[in-house]
Structure 1
């Protein structure tokens, strides 16, 4: 039966009538392509976000390790003077792909603040900062 001659209710034996208009678009070819493209864009955004967060976490760990080792190196050089201590801290931090933001010598204690830039997404995440203190243990 042609489209014009069909009945709305096939079980009905009444005379053929036109079917009411449907809400479905007449042509939905390509709809799956649009949905798949949107899903790929969402997957790409989530993957990029995960990479930025992961890079920031790695930078934070690198800054923390650099601050710890730089403070220990500086504490070992405190007897040679504050400039030698801070120079040792900068040398160790540079070797660990970080920079020393500040180096303070307070008696026998050294406080070092180190910064490390993330490898991916540096504009979004910004540099990671960590501080560490090294010196003799206080008598307890």
Structure 2
């Protein structure tokens, strides 16, 4: 079974795939009243956004975080905070030519050996895109 939850005091459970509709997560353990600085959070997401240099993926993702639950008027309510980042530029078709080829320095082979399935569309859950939820 894949581990998708991290932490004890604060717990993050992430979901989604790099070539699915969205990537997101649920954060548990945030005390009620904690102010969430959405400008700071968005600034950090902008720093890691793809398509900004020649050494990253050319995908044009805006990486705008959407808070689904657990926040009211900019403050944590004490309930789990659900968030989502939509994928807009998946380009799954770009990976069709490597459907049966394991890419060096990627987790394709290891993922298939561990879970018995391989998502050739950019790595699925083992993609660097997953770091957006953390």
TM-score band by shorter chain is: under 0.3
TM-score normalized by structure 2? Answer: 0.27
Structure with bigger helix share is 1
TM-score normalized by structure 1? Answer: 0.26
- Structure scoring higher RCO (CA < 8 A, sep ≥ 6) equals 2
Q: Which structure has the larger Rg over C-alpha atoms?
A: 1
Structure with bigger strand share is 2
